[in-house]
Amino acid sequence: MTARTSAESTRDIPEATVARLPVYLRALITLSESGTVTCSSEDLARAAGVNSAKLRKDLSYLGSYGTRGVGYDVDYLRYQIAREIGVTQDWPVVIVGIGNLGHALANYSGFRSRGFRVVALLDADPTRHEEVVAGIDVRPFDDLEQIVRENGVAIGVIATPAIAAQDVADRMVECGISSILNFAATVLAVPAGVDVRKVDLSIELQILAYHEQRKAQADTA
């Protein structure tokens, strides 16, 4: 908002770039694990499925971490991107709604391996509270505030039915959560300062269906 203390870490990175940084990070991790020490923007772009000019432009927002005529040091760049995104630290996360999808999410190993730690599973249904999923107790939804306070949770995941999602989001915001990942098929209203991202399977399928239909029409034309 106001003038930052300058120093390092470039100011506003374009949103489109932010969305690609995790892809680059994953490609770098794969390269690193395969023993690659250095890579060119061309190599990395291919691994990430983007244009090399776009890749270089994206990286230039972070700083000059490459060497002309040589390329990028894989581990160094990997660290720089991880730091920029913020995944060098661990982010505590709560998941609300431990049904079909919630179970899958709780069992998802990608959380831990990418800098996120599931600190609690919450569900409104008392019959769920007996359960232990992926080594974590399912607890009553009303425990949310205490859990958020004790663990400093900033990120919440909603996997409840659509009808309950707005209520859950409201409670999350009240408790101080300021980033929400919403799997329920509904539009959430939240105050300014709270980020919401949605993952919507049926929207993705419908987009595919639209293009599929057009292909079919083109064929019969």
Ligand X SMILES: NC(=O)c1ccc[n+]([C@@H]2O[C@H](COP(=O)([O-])OP(=O)(O)OC[C@H]3O[C@@H](n4cnc5c(N)ncnc54)[C@H](O)[C@@H]3O)[C@@H](O)[C@H]2O)c1
Partner DNA sequence: AAGAGTTTGTGAACGCGAGAACAAAACGAG
Partner DNA sequence: CTCGTTTTGTTCTCGCGTTCACAAACTCTT
User: What residues line the site for DNA (CB under 7 A)?
Assistant: 14-17, 40-42, 50-54, 56-57, 59-60, 64-72
Minimum CB separation of residue 210 from DNA in Å reads: 13
Residues contacting residue 77 through CB under 8 Å, at least 6 positions apart: 28, 59, 65, 66
**Nearer residue to a copy of itself within complex by CB, 69 or 86:** 86
Answer with the entry of ligand X, DNA, a copy of itself, none that 51 interacts with (C-beta below 5 to 8 A by kind).
Answer: DNA
DSSP state of 181: E
Q: Which residues bind a copy of itself (CB under 8 A)?
A: 1-2, 4-5, 9, 18-19, 21-23, 25-27, 47-49, 84-87, 91, 93, 100-101, 103-105, 107-108, 110-111, 114-116, 154-155, 178-181, 185-189, 193, 195, 197, 199-213, 215, 217-218, 221
| 157 contacts 179 by C-beta, under 8 angstroms | no
Binding positions for ligand X, 107-126, rule CB under 6 A: 107-108, 110, 123-125
What stretches of the chain show up as alpha helix (H) in DSSP?
A: 15-33, 41-48, 52-60, 74-85, 100-106, 110-113, 144-151, 162-175, 201-220
Residue listed under structure tokens 């990430």:
48
**Amino acid identity for residue 110 in this structure:** G
- Tell me which stretch binds ligand X (CB under 6 A): 64-72, 87-95, 157-165, 172-180: 157-165
